[in-house]
Each structure stands twice: as C-alpha cells, then as structure tokens.
Structure 1
C-alpha cells in the first residue's frame, strides 16, 4: 500500500511540474521587460520615432504595467526543488548524510595528520633549540673567559706600570735630594 502512495505522489508531482506557475512567471517577466523597453525608447527617443510626444500623458500606462508585471513575476517565480518527489528527497537526505560522514572522517584524518606532523616538528624544534642554546652558552662562556683573562693581563700590566712609576719617582726624588745635597 505504501508503494501505491509513493507512486501516486510521484505522478501528482510530475503533473505539477508543467503547471501554470512557470508559464505565468515567464509571461509576466516578458511583459515587464517589454514595458520597460517602451519607457526607455520613449525617454531616449530611440530611432527618432517621436515616442515621447506621442505617449505624452499616457506615459503612466507603461510605468504601471512595468510595476505590476515585475511584481507579479517576482511572486510567481517557481521554487527551486519544489517538484522533487518524496523518494528523491529521501535519497537527497541519505546522500547528504553520507557526504557529511565522509567529510567528517576526512577532517578527522587531516587533523590527525596535522597533529602528527606538528608534534614531530615541535619535538625536533625543541631539540634543536636546546642544541643552539648550549652552543650559545658555550660561546658566552668563552667570551667571558676571554674578557676575564684580558682584564687579568691588564691588571698585571697596570701593577707593573705602577711599580715602574714608583721606582722612577723614587729615583727622581733621590736624584733631586742627591742633587740638592751635592749642590749644597
């Protein structure tokens, strides 16, 4: 019995497919385009036919027909997918759910791949970072040792210079004292 109901609804939908709605929509659309064409031809005096003076006060007629037919065309527009049968909509729902599950599984596998790749990259970057940090610390320590040794050398050299200055000063004082004593 359900097979008969499906067959009846399918035949009813097929009968509705070629109904009056799509035909009215086309008629109203063509009529509104024609009335708009007459208005533009009169406005711009296309072909010097003298439509503007000829229409005169009758210009309201193409304006009104354009408005009425364009609004009617909008309201009689056939709906997309309105003629689909119940079986087709069930098939569409099944296809959509299958597509959705495939998409979800693809996203999950892509996410796992990205996590795996970024995890490997993260670990390798951490190791590389540790290696570079150790190298940088070694360079800093070598520089510190070098500066410390240079400072120590400069201290020793400074002490030697101070000792030489003291000896020179003593000699100068001795010479000055001896020179004064010898002069007296």
Structure 2
C-alpha cells in the first residue's frame, strides 16, 4: 500500500505535466479528419449538396485547416516512455497480462481435462457397444453359415436320391429295352 501511495503523486505530476499535449493531439487529429472529410464531400459532391460551387475560391480554407491540424497532431503526439507513470503503467499491464495468461492456461487445462474425461467415458462405452455388436454380427453370420450348410446338405441328399432314381430308371429302361427286343425277336 505504501508503494502505491508514493507512486500516485508521481503519476499525478506526470499527468499535470503532460495533460495538455495528448488533448491537443486528439483535438488536432479530429479537426484534421473533419476538414479532410469536408474536402472530399465537396470534391465528390456527396449527397448532391453542391458544396464545390458554393465554396468556390474558399476551398483553400479546408485545405489549410487540414494541413495545420494534421501537422499539429503529428508534433503533439505523446512520446512513449516519457515518464515514471508510463513505466509503472506498463508494469501493471505486464502483470495483468501475465495473470490473464495464467488464468487462460488453467481454464484451457480444465477444459481439456473435462473433454478427455467425457471422451474417455464415451470411448469406453463405444468400445463395449462395438464388442456387443460384433458378437451379434458373428452370431448372425454363424446362423447364416449353418443355414446355408444345412440347405447344401439337403440339396446333396436330394441330388443323390435323384441320381439313384435316374440310375434305377436307366436300368429299367435298359432291361425293358433288352427284354422287349428279345421278346420281339
């Protein structure tokens, strides 16, 4: 607290010494911008106000005011590091930036942990569900293979029966043909 009380009078003295400079700089900048805006509005006849014919030879006034105020704004620009207040102010800015950076880092770390925790839980449940679905799919595939195998076995048996019937029919046909020829001869 004592350090802050000592620093405040120095900052007040700096403000008193340099209080008029920044104000003149700002006012000069604003007036330069306004005169330049008026010049451009007159030149391009913005809003069809007829500023160019109305000004006529008085156009030199906004040009001169622009030149004077822009030069004044340049020369009254406050200098960086001009006093102890700026140094103390920069130390405060650095301290607050460091604090902000540490807070941001801790928030990012907690967010990352939360995301990892959530995704870890989801990952584990997805792995379990994946295993369950694979088991169901394997059971379906096995049932289909068993069904195809049983149908194939039935078709083989049916094919063997048909082959036996064809052989029997062929034998009977041959026997009938042989018996019919011998009876006819």
Q: Fold conserved (TM > 0.5)?
A: yes
CA contact (8 A) 1:22 1:78 kept: no
1:30-69 to structure 2, matched below 5 A, reads 30-38=31-39, 40-41=41-42, 43-44=44-45, 46-47=49-50, 50-51=53-54, 54-55=56-57, 62-63=62-63, 66=66, 69=69
CA contact (8 A) 1:36 1:66 kept: no
In the alignment, does 2:121 pair up with 1:120? yes
Q: Which sections of structure 2, spanning at least 5 residues, go unmatched?
A: none
Q: Which sections of structure 1, spanning at least 5 residues, go unmatched?
A: none
CA-CA distance at 1:9 after TM superposition: 2.5
CA-CA distance at 1:34 after TM superposition: 2.6
CA-CA distance at 1:40 after TM superposition: 3.1
Q: 1:133 and 1:71, CA in 2 relative to 1: closer, same or farther beyond 3 A?
A: farther
Partner of 1:149: 150
Q: TM-score, normalised by structure 1?
A: 0.73
Q: 1:43 and 1:148, CA in 2 relative to 1: closer, same or farther beyond 3 A?
A: closer
In the alignment, does 2:140 pair up with 1:139? yes
Partner of 1:11: 12
Q: 1:177 and 1:134, CA in 2 relative to 1: closer, same or farther beyond 3 A?
A: same
CA contact (8 A) 1:31 1:66 kept: yes
Q: What is the aligned residue count?
A: 180
CA-CA distance at 1:165 after TM superposition: 0.7
Rounded to whole Å, the distance in 1 between the matches of 2:118 and 2:40 is 66
Q: 1:16 and 1:178, CA in 2 relative to 1: closer, same or farther beyond 3 A?
A: farther
In the alignment, does 2:174 pair up with 1:173? yes
CA contact (8 A) 1:32 1:66 kept: yes
Rounded to whole Å, the distance in 2 between the matches of 1:90 and 1:74 is 27
